[in-house]
Amino acid sequence: MNNRHKADIMIYSKGYFPLVAFFLFLFLLTLTSMIYGYIIEKDDVGFYFFLLALFMIILGGTMVFIYSLYGSRLLVYGNVIEVRRWYGIKKTFDIKSIYNVIFEKSNNKIVSIQIITENSNDKFFDEKVDFERLKEYLIDNVEKDKIKCYLLGTKKEMSI
Protein backbone atom coordinates (compact mmCIF):
# COMPACT_ATOMS: atom_id res chain seq x y z
CA MET A 1 0.00 0.00 0.00
CA ASN A 2 2.83 2.42 0.64
CA ASN A 3 4.44 1.84 -2.74
CA ARG A 4 3.67 5.06 -4.59
CA HIS A 5 3.91 3.38 -8.01
CA LYS A 6 0.83 1.26 -7.29
CA ALA A 7 -1.49 4.18 -6.50
CA ASP A 8 -4.56 4.42 -8.71
CA ILE A 9 -4.52 8.22 -8.52
CA MET A 10 -1.72 10.46 -7.25
CA ILE A 11 -2.45 14.17 -6.69
CA TYR A 12 0.56 16.45 -6.17
CA SER A 13 1.88 19.88 -7.08
CA LYS A 14 4.43 20.18 -9.81
CA GLY A 15 5.89 23.65 -10.24
CA TYR A 16 6.69 24.83 -6.72
CA PHE A 17 10.17 23.32 -6.30
CA PRO A 18 12.08 25.85 -8.48
CA LEU A 19 10.56 28.66 -6.41
CA VAL A 20 11.60 27.00 -3.14
CA ALA A 21 15.08 26.38 -4.60
CA PHE A 22 15.35 30.07 -5.57
CA PHE A 23 14.49 31.22 -2.04
CA LEU A 24 16.91 28.63 -0.62
CA PHE A 25 19.65 30.04 -2.88
CA LEU A 26 18.93 33.59 -1.66
CA PHE A 27 18.89 32.34 1.95
CA LEU A 28 22.29 30.66 1.54
CA LEU A 29 23.70 33.71 -0.28
CA THR A 30 22.64 35.93 2.61
CA LEU A 31 24.10 33.49 5.13
CA THR A 32 27.39 33.41 3.20
CA SER A 33 27.48 37.22 3.16
CA MET A 34 26.97 37.31 6.92
CA ILE A 35 29.67 34.71 7.54
CA TYR A 36 32.14 36.47 5.25
CA GLY A 37 31.49 39.92 6.67
CA TYR A 38 31.37 39.19 10.36
CA ILE A 39 33.56 36.14 10.86
CA ILE A 40 36.22 36.36 8.14
CA GLU A 41 36.49 40.15 7.70
CA LYS A 42 35.75 40.85 11.40
CA ASP A 43 33.34 43.71 10.62
CA ASP A 44 31.38 45.28 13.47
CA VAL A 45 27.87 44.02 14.07
CA GLY A 46 25.65 46.86 13.00
CA PHE A 47 22.62 47.79 10.98
CA TYR A 48 23.74 45.75 7.95
CA PHE A 49 24.00 42.58 10.07
CA PHE A 50 20.48 43.03 11.46
CA LEU A 51 19.15 43.80 7.99
CA LEU A 52 20.68 40.56 6.66
CA ALA A 53 19.28 38.62 9.62
CA LEU A 54 15.79 40.04 8.96
CA PHE A 55 16.16 39.20 5.27
CA MET A 56 17.12 35.60 6.20
CA ILE A 57 14.08 35.25 8.44
CA ILE A 58 11.78 36.53 5.68
CA LEU A 59 13.35 34.21 3.09
CA GLY A 60 13.17 31.20 5.40
CA GLY A 61 9.56 31.92 6.27
CA THR A 62 8.67 32.33 2.60
CA MET A 63 10.29 28.97 1.76
CA VAL A 64 8.35 27.19 4.50
CA PHE A 65 5.10 28.92 3.51
CA ILE A 66 5.41 28.00 -0.18
CA TYR A 67 6.32 24.42 0.63
CA SER A 68 3.44 24.11 3.10
CA LEU A 69 0.97 25.29 0.45
CA TYR A 70 2.11 22.96 -2.29
CA GLY A 71 3.88 20.08 -0.55
CA SER A 72 0.91 17.86 0.26
CA ARG A 73 -0.17 14.96 -1.91
CA LEU A 74 -3.09 12.58 -2.09
CA LEU A 75 -2.85 8.93 -3.08
CA VAL A 76 -5.81 6.68 -3.91
CA TYR A 77 -5.49 2.91 -3.54
CA GLY A 78 -8.84 1.37 -4.52
CA ASN A 79 -11.25 2.58 -1.81
CA VAL A 80 -8.52 3.91 0.49
CA ILE A 81 -7.37 7.53 0.33
CA GLU A 82 -4.04 8.59 1.84
CA VAL A 83 -3.15 12.24 2.41
CA ARG A 84 0.51 13.03 3.04
CA ARG A 85 1.38 16.44 4.41
CA TRP A 86 4.59 18.33 3.70
CA TYR A 87 5.84 17.75 7.25
CA GLY A 88 5.51 13.95 7.01
CA ILE A 89 2.21 13.23 8.73
CA LYS A 90 0.11 10.70 6.84
CA LYS A 91 -3.66 10.30 7.19
CA THR A 92 -5.41 7.26 5.73
CA PHE A 93 -9.16 6.84 5.47
CA ASP A 94 -11.70 4.76 3.59
CA ILE A 95 -13.94 6.31 0.94
CA LYS A 96 -16.98 5.39 3.05
CA SER A 97 -15.74 7.49 5.99
CA ILE A 98 -16.04 10.74 4.01
CA TYR A 99 -18.69 13.06 5.53
CA ASN A 100 -18.74 15.68 2.77
CA VAL A 101 -17.06 16.50 -0.50
CA ILE A 102 -17.35 20.17 -1.40
CA PHE A 103 -16.60 21.32 -4.93
CA GLU A 104 -16.11 25.02 -5.64
CA LYS A 105 -16.77 26.36 -9.13
CA SER A 106 -15.54 29.42 -10.93
CA ASN A 107 -16.33 30.19 -14.58
CA ASN A 108 -18.23 26.87 -14.87
CA LYS A 109 -15.11 24.93 -13.90
CA ILE A 110 -14.42 23.14 -10.62
CA VAL A 111 -11.36 24.84 -9.09
CA SER A 112 -11.16 23.23 -5.65
CA ILE A 113 -12.16 20.06 -3.86
CA GLN A 114 -12.53 19.87 -0.10
CA ILE A 115 -12.70 16.41 1.48
CA ILE A 116 -14.11 16.32 5.01
CA THR A 117 -13.81 13.23 7.22
CA GLU A 118 -14.05 12.66 10.95
CA ASN A 119 -10.51 13.80 11.67
CA SER A 120 -9.36 15.69 8.58
CA ASN A 121 -10.38 18.55 6.35
CA ASP A 122 -8.21 18.72 3.25
CA LYS A 123 -8.54 21.06 0.29
CA PHE A 124 -6.99 20.53 -3.14
CA PHE A 125 -6.83 23.07 -5.97
CA ASP A 126 -6.95 22.60 -9.73
CA GLU A 127 -3.25 23.28 -10.31
CA LYS A 128 -2.46 19.83 -8.93
CA VAL A 129 -1.50 17.01 -11.28
CA ASP A 130 -4.42 14.58 -11.93
CA PHE A 131 -6.99 16.92 -10.35
CA GLU A 132 -9.60 15.90 -12.95
CA ARG A 133 -9.12 12.20 -12.17
CA LEU A 134 -9.68 12.89 -8.46
CA LYS A 135 -12.85 14.83 -9.28
CA GLU A 136 -14.24 11.97 -11.39
CA TYR A 137 -13.24 9.39 -8.76
CA LEU A 138 -15.05 11.26 -5.99
CA ILE A 139 -18.17 11.83 -8.10
CA ASP A 140 -18.30 8.12 -8.98
CA ASN A 141 -17.50 6.68 -5.52
CA VAL A 142 -18.95 9.02 -2.90
CA GLU A 143 -22.67 8.93 -2.12
CA LYS A 144 -24.54 11.68 -3.99
CA ASP A 145 -26.08 13.21 -0.83
CA LYS A 146 -22.56 13.86 0.58
CA ILE A 147 -21.44 15.87 -2.47
CA LYS A 148 -22.05 19.62 -2.57
CA CYS A 149 -21.04 22.20 -5.15
CA TYR A 150 -20.83 25.94 -4.47
CA LEU A 151 -19.86 29.04 -6.38
CA LEU A 152 -16.31 29.99 -5.37
CA GLY A 153 -16.28 32.19 -2.26
CA THR A 154 -20.04 31.92 -1.63
CA LYS A 155 -22.54 29.40 -0.32
CA LYS A 156 -24.64 29.61 -3.48
CA GLU A 157 -25.29 26.01 -4.52
CA MET A 158 -24.56 24.97 -8.10
CA SER A 159 -24.80 21.78 -10.09
CA ILE A 160 -21.68 19.74 -10.74
Does residue 91 share a domain with residue 42? no
Structural domain count, the chain: 2
Does residue 100 share a domain with residue 41? no
Does residue 86 share a domain with residue 51? no
For the stretch 119-144, pLDDT in tens is 888 888 877 788 888 889 898 988 88
Residue 5 binned pLDDT confidence (cut-offs 50, 70, 90):
low
Does residue 44 share a domain with residue 99? no
Query: What CATH number is associated with residue 106?
Result: 2.30.29
Q: Which candidate, 59, 126, 113, 43, places its Cα nearest to that of 81?
A: 113
Q: For residue 126, tell me if it sits in a domain.
A: yes
Q: For residue 120, tell me if it sits in a domain.
A: yes
Does residue 106 share a domain with residue 41? no
Does residue 119 share a domain with residue 82? yes
Does residue 91 share a domain with residue 58? no
Does residue 141 share a domain with residue 101? yes
Q: What are phi and psi of 55, to 5 degrees?
A: -60, -40
Residue 143, CA distances (Å) to 29, 110, 140, 152 in order: 53, 18, 8, 22
Domain-ending residue, one of 70, 95, 110: 70
**Average pLDDT score over residue span 9-17:** 76
Residue 104 binned pLDDT confidence (cut-offs 50, 70, 90):
very high
Rg (CA), the chain: 21
Name residues whose C-beta falls within 8 Å of residue 98's C-beta, 6 or more positions apart in sequence: 115, 116, 117, 142, 146
Q: Which candidate, 135, 136, 137, 138, places its Cα nearest to that of 125?
A: 135
Note the pTM of the prediction, 2 decimals: 0.66
Does residue 125 share a domain with residue 99? yes
Range of the domain at 131: 73-151
Report the alpha-carbon distance of residue 2 to residue 16 in Å, rounded: 24
For the stretch 33-89, pLDDT in tens is 878 777 777 777 777 778 888 888 888 888 788 777 777 788 888 888 888 876 777
Does residue 85 share a domain with residue 132? yes
Does residue 140 share a domain with residue 94? yes
